[in-house]
Amino acid sequence: MLYFGYVTDTMKVCEDKGLNWEDFWKEGHNNKVYMCHGKDNIMFHSIILNALLLGQEENYHLVDTIVSAEYLNFNDQKFSKSKGIGMTATEAIERYNSDSLRYHLIANGPEKKDTNFTIEDFTNTHNSDIVNKFGNLVNRTLKFKGLEELTAGKMDETIKKEIIDTYNEVGNLIEKLEFREAVRKIVELVEKTNKFYDENRPWVARKENEEEFNNIIFTCSVVIANLSNLFEPIMPEACKKIRKYLNLGEPTWEYIQPKSGIKLEVEALFERM
């Protein structure tokens, strides 16, 4: 029996949404088919499914790209419902922040070798990368003591170039399905901006040079605005909050600048675990 669950599932979704399923599965529609699976299904998706599609002789578009992952283990053991090893996705998001889970699983995903999930590692990722780096940049910039609205300032050109380069690099990495490296590149921008913040000492500039203070805060705010685009595929809820804080529109994949003068009403993006 031919297994065309992928096609029939597409048909149902398209029917519900008023779309044409052939736009996704037939040749000549500028479409692209990705197959995402564990390494044990490589044979099926790379050879058998394509052979079945060809055998139909109905102009099916064959698989373009295979996203093949290794195994994710739980506390050095294979997930097992019968043995009570691991947790379901529903259980995980009921217990933990969904953005943090998404970030940790992508940043430590089993792209080229098996990886292991532990609550200890997840907690470390959350507190280190997410709270101490990303969350801290947002909080200390947009919640700077006494700052009620976004300052009008001059954008640092070196940081602007870093932002534009990050869009290009991360976009290319995502298209090549190198998600771990894509996350690392975004975090690298966060780290560079935190370093810029520390080296320019806005807490000193606030007392001695108002123009310099405004430039520092504005530059860091621009980075945060662009992080709401870059992190959108990974941490959508946190990015939605940032867009609300900075009165931004829908996410894009291009350099943006928030408007100065907007009132800043900001809450912490994340809580420490």
pLDDT digits (tens, 9 = 90+) for 140-175: 999 988 888 888 999 999 999 999 999 999 999 999
Which among 243, 222, 237, 246 is positioned nearest to 270, based on CA atoms? 237
Kindly report, residue by residue over 48-68, the tens digit of the pLDDT: 888 888 888 889 898 888 887
Taking the C-alpha atoms of residue 176 and residue 158, their distance in angstroms, rounded to an integer, is: 27
In 10 A of CB 228, how many CB atoms?
25
Structure-token pair, residue 4: 């065309």
Position 36 scores a pLDDT of 79
Position 48 scores a pLDDT of 86
Taking the C-alpha atoms of residue 39 and residue 46, their distance in angstroms, rounded to an integer, is: 11
- What's the chain's Rg over C-alpha atoms? 23
The domains of the chain, with CATH numbers, are 5-69 (no CATH), 130-245 (1.10.730.10)
Position 2 scores a pLDDT of 44
Position 4 scores a pLDDT of 61
Taking the C-alpha atoms of residue 247 and residue 155, their distance in angstroms, rounded to an integer, is: 18
Phi, psi of 132 (to 5 degrees): -70, -30
Residues of the chain with pLDDT under 50: 1-2
